[in-house]
């Protein structure tokens, strides 16, 4: 199935297969790797509107991007309409972002307990007011990332979809699970299809995409305008290239060539990608600490090594002795030390 470019407002995404925002993962290091391997667009990590309002340097650092990192959305959360509008204005004024995305799908307790994220699905009038305020405050397009519902007792998927569209959003991305289920259970693609039929604005489908082959399945089952993936891309930036092959009509017509089943199994490719990811994390931390008024417990390299620990299990899944490597990683605080351990495991598994 061939994907067409996605256009909303002034944004044009040539290949609408997007990297989902994930706190603790999708910083500029991961985003740029995914863009270079075919991701159509990316999002900043979840950014607090109140943090922007309070001039929090740590919050501003979440919105830092790499050079020429486009298309990219500034992804913000909060429950105060005025704070959200001011945050959106800041995002626009940086000149770094192509559109602003409002989160009303994050199920994490510390976000929901503030009445933000997925909690907004329980208060659709407030969600509508936030969207309207943000739209009025900026000239950039505005999208909303949400879910099919908070739980079975609150607003349903179609009610949520219509409230978002009627409030003026230009695009919607929907994770096809209830917030109460986090990432558990099967994604409900039938509800995505119903939302697609009910909406006039573009809709991105999210949830239940674990392999490249899942993408054409979602497209055929739901008719969504594009797809968004999160965990399947961690430690696997190649997946976006593989999706392009799977979705290519010529590729799928060919009976001689099978769709790739994890083309990332080349050990040396994985090893080299891990080294490059670490290098970019070190560079990001160097930039973060230069000229900062904050005090840092760790050097840029040490901070990068700590941050990379969350990515390691995904890079090595199915290939290495993950438990052995992760136990050693807890003590490793240099790039050379980490890569030396990776090289030992690569040598054992070749």
Task: Determine phi and psi for 240, rounding to 5 degrees.
Answer: -70, -35
Pairing of strands 6-8, 11-13: antiparallel
| Paired tokens of 245 | 């092959």
Rg of the chain on CA atoms, in Å: 20
Sign of CA dihedral 120, 123, 126, 131: positive
List strand residue ranges (DSSP E) for the chain, in order. Answer: 6-8, 11-13, 17-19, 42-43, 47-48, 72-77, 99-103, 142-147, 171-175, 203-206, 226-229
Task: Determine phi and psi for 72, rounding to 5 degrees.
Answer: -145, 140
Residue pair 83/130 in contact by the 8 Å Cβ criterion? no
Least Cα distance to 192 among 158, 145, 142 occurs for 158
Q: How far is CA 66 from CA 33, 34, 35, 219, 246, in A?
A: 11, 13, 11, 31, 29
Catalytic pick among 106, 217, 247, 305:
106
Is 106 labeled as catalytic in the residue annotation?
A: yes
Catalytic residue annotation: 106
């Amino acid at each position: 199935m061939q994907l067409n470019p996605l256009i909303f407002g002034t944004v044009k995404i040539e290949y609408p297969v997007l990297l989902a925002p994930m706190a603790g993962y999708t910083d500029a290091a991961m985003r740029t790797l995914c863009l270079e391997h075919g991701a159509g667009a990316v999002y900043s990590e979840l950014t607090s509107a109140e943090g922007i309002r309070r001039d929090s340097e740590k919050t501003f650092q979440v919105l830092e991007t790499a050079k020429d990192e486009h298309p990219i959305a500034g992804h913000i959360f909060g429950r105060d309409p005025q704070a959200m509008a001011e945050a959106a204005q800041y995002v626009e004024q940086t000149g770094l972002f192509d559109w602003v995305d409002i989160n009303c799908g994050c199920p994490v307790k510390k976000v929901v307990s503030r009445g933000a994220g997925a909690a907004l699905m329980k208060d659709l009038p407030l969600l509508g007011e936030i969207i309207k305020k943000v739209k009025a405050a900026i000239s950039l397009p505005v999208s909303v990332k949400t879910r099919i519902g908070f739980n079975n007792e609150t607003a349903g998927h179609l009610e949520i979809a219509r409230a978002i569209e009627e409030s003026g959003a230009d695009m919607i991305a929907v994770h096809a699970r209830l917030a109460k289920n986090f990432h558990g259970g099967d994604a409900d693609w039938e509800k995505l299809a119903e939302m697609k039929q009910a909406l006039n604005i573009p809709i991105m489908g999210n949830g239940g995409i674990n392999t490249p082959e899942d993408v054409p399945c979602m497209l055929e089952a739901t008719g969504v305008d594009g797809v968004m993936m999160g965990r399947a891309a961690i430690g696997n930036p190649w997946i976006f290239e593989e999706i392009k092959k799977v979705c290519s009509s010529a590729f799928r017509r060919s009976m001689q060539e099978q769709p790739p089943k994890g083309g990332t199994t080349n050990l040396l490719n994985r090893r080299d990608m891990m080294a490059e990811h670490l290098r970019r994390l070190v560079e990001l931390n160097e930039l973060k600490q230069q000229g900062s008024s904050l005090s840092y417990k760790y050097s840029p390299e040490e901070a990068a090594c700590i941050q990379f620990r969350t990515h390691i299990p995904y890079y090595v899944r199915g290939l290495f002795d993950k438990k052995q490597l992760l136990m050693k990683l807890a003590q490793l605080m240099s790039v050379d030390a980490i890569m030396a351990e990776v090289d030992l495991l690569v040598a054992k598994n070749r």
